[in-house]
């Protein structure tokens, strides 16, 4: 073998490979696909649970605000405005503050209702949506 052939063989043998093979890339894509297939439904469920919790808090806070305003004598300031924009996952009808008002707020999972009895908010009641 000539000196040139020896150097050429040595250079080819020592040449470093750059990048990934097609098989390696396909394996990574498959793993990402499986993980997203498992994680996405859980993420959506967590979002619905958070929106439902928001609906419960809106109902409770509206009832408490109404109770305070009844004591202060300014109940008309505590009316719950209508919310039909479901982009945040929470909707409700307009509810006027009174000593027997029932504040019902609908989330993606449940409808939460807090009823006032003689101006005192009761325990929230949740009913599953159909």
For the stretch 60-106, pLDDT in tens is 999 999 999 999 988 788 888 888 888 888 999 999 999 999 999 99
Is there a domain that residue 11 lies in? no
Tally the domains of the chain: 1
What local confidence, expressed as pLDDT, does residue 81 receive?
87
Q: Strands 125-128 and 110-117: what pairing?
A: antiparallel
Instruction: Please provide the average confidence, as pLDDT, over all residues in the chain.
Output: 89
What local confidence, expressed as pLDDT, does residue 15 receive?
64
Is there a domain that residue 71 lies in? yes
Is there a domain that residue 102 lies in? yes
Q: Within a 13 Å sphere around the CA of 53, how many CA atoms are in the beta-carbon half? A: 6
């Amino acid at each position: 073998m000539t000196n040139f052939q020896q150097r050429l063989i040595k250079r080819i043998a020592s040449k470093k490979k750059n990048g990934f093979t097609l098989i390696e890339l396909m394996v990574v894509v498959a793993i990402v696909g499986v993980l997203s297939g498992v994680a996405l439904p859980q993420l959506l469920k967590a979002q619905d649970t958070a929106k439902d919790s928001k609906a419960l808090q809106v109902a409770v806070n509206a009832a408490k605000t109404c109770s305070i305003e009844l004591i202060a004598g300014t109940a008309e300031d505590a009316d719950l405005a209508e919310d039909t924009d479901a982009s945040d996952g929470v909707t409700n009808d307009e509810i006027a503050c009174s000593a027997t008002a029932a504040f019902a707020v609908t989330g993606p999972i449940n409808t939460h209702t807090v009823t006032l009895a003689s101006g005192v908010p009761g325990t929230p009641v949740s009913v599953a949506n159909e």
